[in-house]
Structure 1
């Protein structure tokens, strides 16, 4: 399956087909190599944070997997998961590379012409749930999908981004996170950060509660307008910016004292995180609808989450300020 490029417009259909195959193999190999390296660098960085915290530090469990010949999807991946750490209560970072006979509905909302087409998809997705309520939860994903009906050149597009979900809000953390996102996109066009920031605000939104999930970041999907090479370059820039965006916040907040009140609020807010992932997240739906590996798809779930009926936090408290000052759509830069 080859992504469409101008290089296919040469000397006849057989030559074009051969070039498509060569281009796709090179693209797939390059993207796969990058994504595996990204997963390794991020998980190694988190293990270093854990190790610096002292005795009893957690490490990632690496769980390689491959789809069986009788399953709807074919392919392989590596799920890396760390639980009950000193700094991170649960941290999941997964790589997957799969092929399927038919794109699921969640992937064709904006590309109806590809409904039912065979596809190939690969990506790295992570969610980190820290132990300290003052350290925010974070999500990042970068991915590439190629799809096309038989006899036609495949369409190749990219998606991804990162977003921050604090339990207790700090303006300087939000500014730092958004500035790093903006810097990652700047080489590809000054218009992309405000566009992807708005897209993120609109996507990570719990419609059934009229509530933002967090303070946002950047998000993009079905993105092919820069072409294959620049689309891949932008994917790398976003992926490489993640640790710069998140680790300084972790280091600043991880030793902040907290008690039962803060843990109670953290678990309540994580209930909202679960709601979004199961009800609205297209990535979760894509994985489940296409026959993906359930344990890997649900690595984003926290170890602990609570729900409270019509909870109202007293006005002026940090808990009430999260909703009024941080879980709103605003310009952080």
Structure 2
């Protein structure tokens, strides 16, 4: 693996972020009386494989609070960038690359606790002609099954705080980018209430891009854990669990059909078990399912799975 000081600094931060997050995950489980802890599995891709590198996959399954929660670190090198990484940079098609990042998805047990996704990453391309090119990407987004205004407002407030030091316009731009990205085109439906998303950011230079990566990653627990604490003990029944499973089907659809991170991993020969740790433990589908007006289930699509300015009143 490349061992430049810059690459090592990014790697050290990402490994520390992963450990901080899984420790918080374990603490949350223990506080709820759970006995499950995160399994930590280091992995290596051999030198003869198309993709070389290493990482750590952390996964918790069957928990008291989280039914399935995965947080993975990867640091890989490849001989050619996959198509998903060069859609906006055609001049880099075929370039060798190095990528490292932390990606997580937490699927809660209680239907009133939303699923959450966060990712921070850096990619460096080495074109045949010209200097190496590095860029940063990342963000976080919230996918509720039952909508609560205060949860969406809190999540967006912290998202705004994470990028505010890097330009007052960034939250609005990255919020719109998130809304446009996490959109199921075939359903004409948002995946959740959004958050922030950015990719291909190089205009801040290495130091600025790295600093923003650290800010976004380090704000994640502040954005999500208060919502978990607020909702994890709310009573629910089988009807709510059935609706959660139905909505999880939409999550699967997005991740397999549209998600660039999933496509990047599979197209580049990544580790399949780690790439698909974002999948929920259970999901189902129903034909043209509808919900009665005025119900919380109907309110989800009518009031929450739409593009809204959640901080308009602040």
TM-score interval (norm. to shorter): over 0.9
Q: Which residue of 1 aligns with 2:152?
A: 174
Q: Which residue of 2 aligns with 1:258?
A: 236
Q: Which residue of 1 aligns with 2:173?
A: 195
Q: Which residue of 2 aligns with 1:109?
A: 87
Q: Which residue of 1 aligns with 2:13?
A: 34
RMSD after superposition: 1.0
Select which of 31, 34, 39 maps to 1:52: 31
Q: Based on CA coordinates, which of the two structures has the bigger radius of gyration? A: 1
Q: Which residue of 1 aligns with 2:105?
A: 127
Distance 1:274 1:332 in 2: 25
Select which of 25, 45, 61 maps to 2:4: 25
Encode CA deviations 1:215-256: one digit per residue, 9 max, x unaligned: 000000011111110000000000000000000000000000
Unaligned runs of 5+ in 1: 2-20
Cα deviation for residue 151 of structure 1 reads: 4.7
Select which of 204, 214, 221 maps to 2:182: 204
Q: Which residue of 2 aligns with 1:235?
A: 213
Q: Secondary structure at the match of 1:65?
A: strand
Distance 1:219 1:57 in 2: 34
Distance 1:250 1:217 in 2: 16
Q: With structure 1 as the length reference, what TM-score do the two structures score?
A: 0.92
Q: With structure 2 as the length reference, what TM-score do the two structures score?
A: 0.98
Cα deviation for residue 30 of structure 1 reads: 0.2
Distance 2:39 2:96 in 1: 32
Q: Secondary structure at the match of 1:91?
A: strand
Distance 1:164 1:234 in 2: 20
Distance 2:146 2:267 in 1: 34
Select which of 77, 84, 91 maps to 2:62: 84
Unaligned runs of 5+ in 2: none
